[in-house]
Structures are given as C-alpha cells and as structure tokens.
Amino acid sequence: MSAWRPRSRSPEPSARSHCPTRSAETGSGVRLAALDGVRIVAALSVLCYHYLALESAWGQSAATVFPVASKCAAYGWLGVELFFTVSGFVICMSAWGRTVGEFAVSRISRLFPAYWVAVAFTATVLFAWPEVRGVKAFSDVVVNLSMLQGGMKVPNIDDAYWTLFVELKFYVLFALVILRGVTYRNCVVFCGVWTLAGIVAPTADNGLLSFFAIPSFSPYFIAGIAFYLMRRFGPNPVLWTIAGLQFLLAQSYVQSRTISNLGRTAAFELPAWPAHSIITCGFLVMAGIALGAFDRVQWRWLPHVGAVTYPLYLIHMMAGLTLIHHFRHALAPVPLVLGVTGVMTLLAWLIHRLVERPLSRLLRTGLRRGVEDIRRGTPRRAALPAIPAQPPAPETERIPAAR
C-alpha cells in the first residue's frame, strides 16, 4: 500500500471542470511518513488489545494478570478503525489515474503474498499446538487462502482476518468510481451515496445493502477519502461537511463496537469517553496529514517500521496467543508479552523482506501481463520448442515402397 503523494501539481484534465478553485496539491514525491506513524500506532494498539485485554491466552481474566494495563488495552480494538481511515486515504490516492485492471493488480500484489505466508504459518501453529484454538478442517485453510472466507461462512484461521474481507468490499465499491474515472466530483458523489446507504442500511430489510454498506466501518473509509481530497485539492466546506458527518456517525457506533469486542458486561463497566476521545484524536491526526501539518515528519525509520505493520497484523494474534498460553506458567507476564511481541515483530520483518517484497514484484509482473492480454483480447502464445527433424531411417529399416 503506497503512501506516496501524487507528483503532478496540476489537476487532471478530467477533474479540472469540477474541482475546487485551488489546484491539486500533489507535492513533489515526498513520502507521507506520518501515515506510517498512524499505521504503527494502530498495529500496536490491536496487538496490545489481543495480548493484554483478552483472557483466552492467560486462562483467567486479563484484569487479574494486568490490573492497570488491561483497562487501557481494552480500547486497542480502535486500531482497526484507524487502519480503515488510512485505507480510505491511501486507496483514493493510489487509484488516481489508474484503470480497474491496474488497481486490481496493485491490490492483489500488495495484499496476498504476506497473507498466504501468514495463513500457512498460523495454520501450522494451530495444528501443532491447538491450545487456544485448533483448525477444524484443512479445507478451511484452503478457503482462507482466497481471503473470501468471510463471504463463504468459513471460519477465519486467525480472528484478525475479518478486517480483510471488509477491505475487499471497500475495494469493490471504489472500483465503481475507477470505472467512471477517479475525479474530485466522482469521489464526492461516491462519499455521499455511500453515506446515505450506511444511514439507511440498519433499518432497511435488504441483505445486499447491509452487506456492502458496512455502516459500522464506512465512516472511516469515507473520512479517509475526504481527507485525501483535502490533501490533493485543498479544504473546502463540502469536504469538511463530509468528514464531520463521518465523525458523528463513527461516534454513534462506539457502544455497539465495544460490545462486539469486549462483551456486554465489560462494555458497560468501562467508561465510553476514552473510545470517543481516541476516535477524535484519529480524525484530528488525519486532518492534520491532509492539511500538511505533519509534512516535516520525515524520520527515516518510519517507512521501514510501517512496512512491517501489515505482516505483523496478519501473524500476531492466534500464533501469539498460543505462545503466551503455552509459556504462561514458565515466564512472568510482562517478559512473556514483550518476548512474544519481539518474536512476532522479527517474523513479520522476515516475511516482509524475504517473501512480501520479492513475491509482490513477481506477482505484479505476471498480473500486468494478464491484464494486457485481456486488453488485447487474446493471450500471448507461449514459445514452443522447435521439434527437431527426424533423421532418415537406416537402409535396413526403410519400408519398401509398394509396387
């Protein structure tokens, strides 16, 4: 997932007639390192939520093991919402000027290489040590490799994978914008239509609408799109209205999201104001990125660490919880959590360096060739080896001609 600002400083011809008066702010190819910082915070928040707030790894209440830290980590699930906001920003940015085929190639080559390794790794851990949870059937692993298990009622090998299916639905929806052309007007219309769908879906008796509207999470994607449009074209009342409305909608789902993550009892015992505050901070940071407030943040280590957040997110949960459960009686809680976090981070870095980067390049090259074949309407013919001429048969083996 690229976090590079667009290079051209002038709006595209297709967007010129309906963009704001300010020309497209596209910068000079400077990486938005602040986005990597948001990714890092989001990934660590989710990891702390799983390791410090869930009791499945400890065999007892997490509040007993971490009386103070568990209360803070209980809000770590909001890291997912931060990821979705960054995704809306980056997907709108990376799709600009691309065709649907190019967009699909970029997403497939970005998401799947690390994901395939993560599924294999997690399944191996759960097969070998089914202490926290096992794998019911090998067919579940095979289906998980497609990333479509959320729509096929097949359990996730790792519970963290549910977010990937939500991402896929966002990609499908945004592909409709790409078909018409990614312009300022089309993006604004898309945000408006999706907002309306998200408002109507909870009370509408329409399964398809609810499936794609994803009202609990659409405010974060839509806000990310609005913030990128601010980044590219400058802020204006329309974009601030879109972002502000998404902020209010996101706040309205805090209680239901808390219940789904912590259970009804814990949700009513914990105060809600920290969750509302975290969402507020997330929107303010993304607004600051959109307005250029964090452009001076160019620490060299941020992109490197940010690149590891995706594989870390994919492998940390079930494998990490299994390690914690296995060694919970041999090590003290704090050293155990720090050690498992270090192991998962190291494995994530190895996956990024040894698998994700090289395999993504190979997959991208192959998929681009496939897209070109579809454009031409015919596949390339593979060069077949020439069939060597048969040497003449010896005189003794020649069949005499019929007379």
- The whole-number mean pLDDT for each consecutive block of 10 residues of the chain, a chain of 403 residues, reads 40 38 39 91 97 90 92 96 97 94 94 97 95 92 95 94 96 96 96 96 87 95 98 97 97 94 87 96 97 91 93 97 95 96 97 95 92 79 61 51 44
Q: What pLDDT is recorded for position 372?
A: 84
Reduced to 3 states (helix: H, G, I; strand: E, B; else coil), residue 4 is strand
**C-alpha dihedral, 67 to 72 to 73 to 79, nearest 10°:** 180
Q: How far is CA 362 from CA 115, 333, 354, in A?
A: 15, 42, 13
Q: What pLDDT is recorded for position 353?
A: 95
**How is residue 213 written in tokens?**
């509207």
Q: What pLDDT is recorded for position 386?
A: 61
Contact 205, 191 (CB under 8 A): no
Q: What's the rounded Cα separation, in Å, for the pair 198 and 210? A: 8
Residues 140, 143, 146: CA angle, nearest 5 degrees? 150
Q: Provide the angle, in degrees to the nearest 10, between the axes of the packed helices 100-128 and 162-180.
A: 170
DSSP secondary structure of 69-80: HHHHHTTTTHHH
Report the 3 state secondary structure along 112-146: HHHHHHHHHHHHHHHHHCCCCCCCCCHHHHHHHCC
- φ/ψ of residue 156, rounded to 5: -70, 135
Q: What pLDDT is recorded for position 237?
A: 97
- φ/ψ of residue 153, rounded to 5: 55, 35
Q: What's the rounded Cα separation, in Å, for the pair 354 and 375? A: 32
Segment (H or E) for 174 = helix 162-180
Exposed/middle/buried for residue 211 (C-beta within 10 Å: 0-12, 13-18, 19+): exposed
**How is residue 88 written in tokens?**
């809306």
Q: What pLDDT is recorded for position 287?
A: 97
**How is residue 359 written in tokens?**
């395999």
Q: What pLDDT is recorded for position 374?
A: 84
Q: What's the rounded Cα separation, in Å, for the pair 73 and 339? A: 18
Q: For 100-257, where are the E strands, in sequence order?
A: none
Query: Hey, what amino acid is at 269?
Result: E
Contacts of 309 (CB under 8 A, 6+ apart): 36, 39, 40, 42, 43, 348
Nearest to 117 by CA among 145, 97, 90: 145
Q: What pLDDT is recorded for position 10?
A: 38
Q: What pLDDT is recorded for position 8?
A: 40
**Against a cut of 0.95, is the pTM above it?**
no
- 355: which DSSP letter? I
Q: What pLDDT is recorded for position 370?
A: 86
Nearest to 162 by CA among 148, 174, 172: 148
Q: How far is CA 77 from CA 108, 160, 256, 268, 291, in A?
A: 26, 10, 13, 16, 27
- Computed over its alpha carbons, how large is the radius of gyration of the chain? 25
